[in-house]
Amino acid sequence: MTDPIRVLIADDQTLLRDSFRILLDTTPGFAVVGEAGTGREAVQLAFAQRPDVVLMDIRMPDMTGIEATEQICAKTDDTRVLILTTFDLDEYVYGALRAGASGFLLKDTSAADLLAALRVVAAGDALLAPSVTRRLIAAFGAQPRPSRTFHRTLTGVTERERQILILIARGLSNTDIAAHLTLSQATVKSHVGRLLTKLNARDRAQLVVVAYETGLVTANRTGLGDRPSTRTPPRAD
């Protein structure tokens, strides 16, 4: 029997926490291991319980969801953070992704989508829908550049890996990337794995951050145009 996905719920609204708990407690394959009403409580419980996923609100008292996410991701290897947000907080979401979050979810999402998102993040993947990713990058592009120095560079990344990184930043899945570049999904998966290693990234969400912070992708330039090119790039794998 597969172990349940262990979830920590972090939200300052008691009603939302109760709703999430009821949903997860009545769904096979999930177990709620704690509830936090502040960012500081979320960090303490994450360290104590080591959940698979923290369902984290961004606007939390005592410590923001971004600050809590950064502390959790810096000190745990297996705990993933799924951010709860609304579209008008996109710039905060980007900060959470830089802090190590594996994705984001709208607060008005359906129960089915919430459960699916938790499964995706718990499996080690990132929750970055193409339309939301594009809006996120565009919204952050209008903000001042972060003052914190970003240490990762694209040194050692091959041209093919750069192409794949651009497409990841645009929100494409491995299947979409394989079709766009006329590669097998296994080849794309291998390239993504090498990118994660070379760029010291936790998951695809972190690769999106790297692509933006290094200037490979900007709000107005994706590196491959706004739409996929009809020309097939050379197979320099």
pLDDT digits over 2-30, tens only? 899 999 999 999 999 999 999 999 999 99
State residue 236's pLDDT score.
Answer: 40
pLDDT digits over 117-127, tens only? 899 889 877 77
State residue 19's pLDDT score.
Answer: 94
Beta strand extents in the chain (DSSP E only): 5-10, 30-36, 53-57, 80-85, 103-106
State residue 48's pLDDT score.
Answer: 95
What the chain holds in terms of domains, given with CATH numbers, is 5-127 (3.40.50.2300), 144-237 (1.10.10.10)
pLDDT digits over 72-115, tens only? 998 888 899 998 877 555 566 677 777 888 888 878 888 998 99
